[in-house]
Structure 1
């Protein structure tokens, strides 16, 4: 998992790109155009006294979010592959992926909506989508994870990118439906060649061998988790 300092630096770079320059971003934040703070943070310069690398603190992160109306926690959220509109609202061309209201359970019981409810979406950079090796860009969906059974790979509340075009099980992490519940679990093969469903959290004792009699539907394969994981 990426440290928050790295995520904040990446998001700072996104904002600089969005505004066209550090000077323009400083202006939007109510700072002097020549203020060197953001430049020092971007470059990861060290403090002259302690020789420690400069990182963005909570106070500055929350101030940036407030002044730019980004929403609380935006600076701490991984936006890898997501195209951010420029300050005039213009987006470069990309792949739009819907975000669904349905959740994937990682320990908590979460019921399935009868129909997918689209609550938003993200526009992904084409080169990022190519790295996913998805079945087709139109099969990509964003959902949210709940529970802690897939820690440390997936954290509660993480946004998860799912390829719904993958219906066959092989080694990887999948969104699975059993009756009216949806789960996110790891699938692997044991020494007998049988498929196993398990959790990544070592504190969760789950390892179930599939024998083909289960009422199990494959929703799709997890291909990215937004805190720095291709899976």
Structure 2
């Protein structure tokens, strides 16, 4: 039994112990859609299955340290990822919606990590963050077209946990993670979509969580 199956069985047993609504409860605590958590419970080989990677395991350990903090080991960040000659940004085993609901397309994560010169990251973020603070995440849906296309990878600073000026953020308003613009319009902070015709702006709910700020978009266009 490999580590992913061990994690899947442990998560399944824990969710079963929570009873009705357990999947939604766990999803809310770790900042993922309930449908995503359900797919983490799929048996190996079932289409749409999501493995429980290191980032997800760390999120589970933070949310439920008594269940996942020590019983299932979390792999440390390799020493090569903390070297001073580059900054490695890993892809998070998650997805963020860009719309009111999920779309059916399941875009593959073709980029698993990206390496940057520290000077470049400093010019973008203002400093060189510690390993693991910057993450890659894939956007889904159509609400941020044309600024962000479905399937594009975004670099998010997870150290930003609140409104930090107008920009694009990773937020959770209660329906899973979403990529949205936040704008200060004087009377309130508004959640704004680039595709405003289909997704009107609305005030940021008081219960909403800010999980990070988007700094870079990785776009790969086919030319031939």
TM-score of the aligned structures, taking structure 1 as reference length: 0.50
The yes-or-no answer on 1:128 pairing with 2:123 is no
Q: Is the alpha carbon distance of 1:166 and 1:183 closer, same or farther for their aligned partners in structure 2, counting shifts above 3 Å?
A: same
Q: Find 2:203's aligned residue among 202, 205, 209.
A: 209
The yes-or-no answer on 1:109 pairing with 2:104 is no
Cα distance in 2 between the residues matched to 1:102 and 1:211? 23
Shift of residue 205, structure 1, vs aligned partner: 2.8
Q: Tell whether the 8 Å contact from 1:109 to 1:181 is kept in structure 2 after alignment.
A: no
RMSD, aligned α-carbons = 2.7
Q: Secondary structure at the match of 1:127?
A: helix
Q: Tell whether the 8 Å contact from 1:134 to 1:163 is kept in structure 2 after alignment.
A: no
Matches within 5 A, 1:6-25: none
Pairs aligned (count): 128
Q: Which moved more, 1:163-172 or 1:201-210?
A: 201-210
Partner of 2:174: 179
Q: Is the alpha carbon distance of 1:157 and 1:211 closer, same or farther for their aligned partners in structure 2, counting shifts above 3 Å?
A: closer
Matches within 5 A, 1:139-158: 139-158=133-152
Q: Secondary structure at the match of 2:180?
A: strand
Q: Is the alpha carbon distance of 1:94 and 1:219 closer, same or farther for their aligned partners in structure 2, counting shifts above 3 Å?
A: same
Q: Secondary structure at the match of 2:112?
A: strand
The yes-or-no answer on 1:220 pairing with 2:212 is yes
Q: Tell whether the 8 Å contact from 1:173 to 1:186 is kept in structure 2 after alignment.
A: yes
Partner of 1:96: 88
Q: Secondary structure at the match of 1:154?
A: coil
Q: Is the alpha carbon distance of 1:184 and 1:211 closer, same or farther for their aligned partners in structure 2, counting shifts above 3 Å?
A: closer
Cα distance in 1 between the residues matched to 2:158 and 2:126? 9
Shift of residue 195, structure 1, vs aligned partner: 0.5
Matches within 5 A, 1:69-80: none
Cα distance in 1 between the residues matched to 2:212 and 2:135? 9
Q: Is the alpha carbon distance of 1:174 and 1:106 closer, same or farther for their aligned partners in structure 2, counting shifts above 3 Å?
A: same
Structure 2 unpaired stretches of 5+: 1-83, 103-110
> Which 4+ stretches in 1 moved above 4 angstroms?
none
